[in-house]
Every structure is written in C-alpha cells, then in structure tokens.
Amino acid sequence: MRLLTVDAESAGQRLDNFLLRLLKGVPKTHVYRVIRSGEVRVNKGRATADTRVAEGDRVRVPPVRTSASAAARAEGETAAPRVPPREFPVLFEDEHLLALDKPAGVAVHGGSGVSFGVIEQLRRAREGRPGHRFLELVHRLDKETSGVLLLAKKRSALTSLQEQFRERGTHKVYQALVWGNWPKGLKVIDQALAKSTDAQGERHVHVVAPAHDQARRAITLVRVREALAGASLLDVTLKTGRTHQIRVHLAHAGHAIVGDPKYGDFAANKAFARAHRSARMFLHARELGFDHPASGERIVLLAPLPAECETLLASLR
C-alpha cells in the first residue's frame, strides 16, 4: 500500500489524471478499476475518477505493477508502445511556461488512434529534470497545423493561461493558404458552429444556424496578405477558439485551405500535392499574445513560416 501526498503543483487535478501521471506504465484500465473498486482512498474516504484533489490530501493507492508488460499481461492487454523522447524548437521558456514551434504532422497528445504526441514525447525527454515535474498543454493545435504551442510548467500558470483563453484575453493570428481569390470585402465571419459524429465515429464541425441546440458562436477575422496564382494567402485572427473553426469557416466561404484533408477540396489537393510535392495542410499558428501568468507582462510570440511553406509560396509567385 502506498500513501501519496498531493503537492501544490498537483492541486486541482482529477484523481484519475493524478494517478496516471504517478503510476507510469500501469494501464489506464487498471487505474480506473482500482478507483471504481474503492481501493483508492482520498483522506480515508472513497473517491471517484473525477474527484479533484487538493494540496495536502492523502491518497492511498493499492499495490500495482508498474512494469508495462507485466501489467498489460495481467489486464489481458497489449503493452502500450514506448514513447520516444523528443524535443521541439523552443520559442520561449522560463520557470512558469514553455512555448514551442510545433511542426505539422505531429499530434499535440495521444488518443483517437494516435499513440503519443508532443506532450508525451516532451515529458519523456525532460523526465527527471528540475522544474519539469508538471508539464501540461495550455491549448491545442490540430495535428496538421504548425506553429506556436503553449505549455505550462506550473499549475498556477496553467489555470491563469487557460482562463485567458476562455475569456478571449489572448491574441491569435494564423496564416492560411486557400483556394481561389478571397473576396476583399469579406473581413469578418460570424457564424455559429456545432459538432457531429459520423457512423465511423469521426468528429466533424459544421456551420449551423444560431438557433441550433448545439450552436456555439464563432468569429474569425480575415485579411488578404497576398494574391497568388489560383490561391490567396490570408492572415486569420481568431476572436473565439472553437474546434476546427478556421478550417470550417474558410471552407464554408468557398475557399478551403490548401491541403486540408477533412474540409478541403480533395481532388484539388491531390493534384496540387503531385505538382508541388507538398501534401501538408497550409495552416500555421504564426502569432500568440497573452499576459504572463506571474508578471502580467504582455508576451507576443512569433513562429516563422516553415521552410516548406515558404518554398511553396515561392513556386506560386
């Protein structure tokens, strides 16, 4: 039996997430099983997976096998693939937060058929380093999107930054290459979005009427940066942060993002990839502004356009 004391950095976490971080190599199903069975106790009382732990709480954990292969055999599961350590280009770092320049084609976290992403690989690379016991994503980027990705190294920083994202205290600018000539008069897209799931379990986002029961207002600002051969390079500013907001808004306007595999023009994407040897979606999180969670200083981070995007633009000019 182990007795764990919740520290300041873990305060506010759900019990399941707290245990999954500490019990590395133990299958998730086993962690949830011991919680459901009542074998895990918080301050001597039963708790559920969504119980929030507080600093100083005493968590009793039954004996568990921390060998991934042994635990997997015990659960009748296949052991999860080992996460390879990986560092990513750093745009800013201090004791409170870390900003990366995420490459396209890398998920920010594991799940939905992805074994691991940026956060798992980075935790593995920085395992055991001072000041890296806590490392969490502040927000997310699509797998196909490159650019500024913000992580927190302290829980206080995480809650402060996530509050800024919720309250629209951040400034987010993307660069997108879309098909066709963007109408110069179309500068604001204010259209509600809603999510749906198809028969295969894949999630989609759609423009819906504001009265739709799942509608969430979404506002996107668009400025034409450059007109190119058969395409337009745009600066896109998010006033809200809905899932797939830019991709859906631009596609709904009749100008899908070049290379978008979900909402794009599939035939055009295929022909374009053959002609230019570029299969990536051209959406890049170029700029992120926010207030530093400790000092309050306004921070503006810039991620340069990736070399493959610059090369593509040069070929279109």
Q: Any idea which fold 90-163 has?
A: Pseudouridine synthase (3.30.2350)
pTM: 0.77
pLDDT for position 70: 43
H helical segments located in the chain? 15-22, 28-36, 68-75, 118-125, 155-166, 245-252, 266-276, 307-316
Residue range 113-156, pLDDT digits in tens: 778 899 999 999 998 888 888 899 999 999 999 999 999 999 89
User: Position 305: which residue type?
Assistant: L
pLDDT computed for residue 133 by the predictor = 83
- Decide: helix, strand or coil at residue 307: helix
Q: Write down the pLDDT at residue 74.
A: 43
Whether 88 and 99 have beta carbons less than 8 Å apart is answered as no
Given this model, what pLDDT does residue 75 score?
A: 45
Q: Where are the domains of the chain?
A: 2-75, 90-163, 168-316
Q: Which CATH superfamily is domain 168-316 in?
A: Pseudouridine synthase (3.30.2350.10)
pLDDT of residue 232: 97
Cα 312 from Cα 220, distance rounded (Å)? 25
**Contact at 8 Å (CB) between 236 and 174?**
yes
Same fold flag, 90-163 and 168-316: yes
Position of tokens 């299969």?
A: 279
Which residues in the chain come in under a pLDDT of 70?
A: 65-81, 112
Cα angle, residue 227 at apex, residues 100 and 101 outer, rounded to 5°: 5
Q: State residue 131's pLDDT score.
A: 83
User: Known catalytic residue: 142?
Assistant: yes
Cα separation, 304 vs 310, whole angstroms: 10
If phi > 0 it is left, if psi is from -120 to 50 it is alpha, else beta; for residue 315 that is alpha
Report the alpha-carbon distance of residue 252 to residue 186 in Å, rounded.
13
The 10s digit of each residue's pLDDT in 210-256 is 999 999 999 999 999 999 989 999 999 999 999 999 999 999 999 99
pLDDT reported for residue 71: 43
Rounded Cα distance between 212 and 193, Å, is 9
pLDDT of residue 66: 58
Architecture per CATH, 2-75: Roll (3.10)
The region, left, alpha or beta by phi > 0 then psi within -120 to 50, assigned to residue 128 is left
What does the pLDDT read at residue 81? 60
Catalytic residue from among 16, 57, 101, 142: 142
How far is 246 from 138, CA to CA, in rounded Å? 19
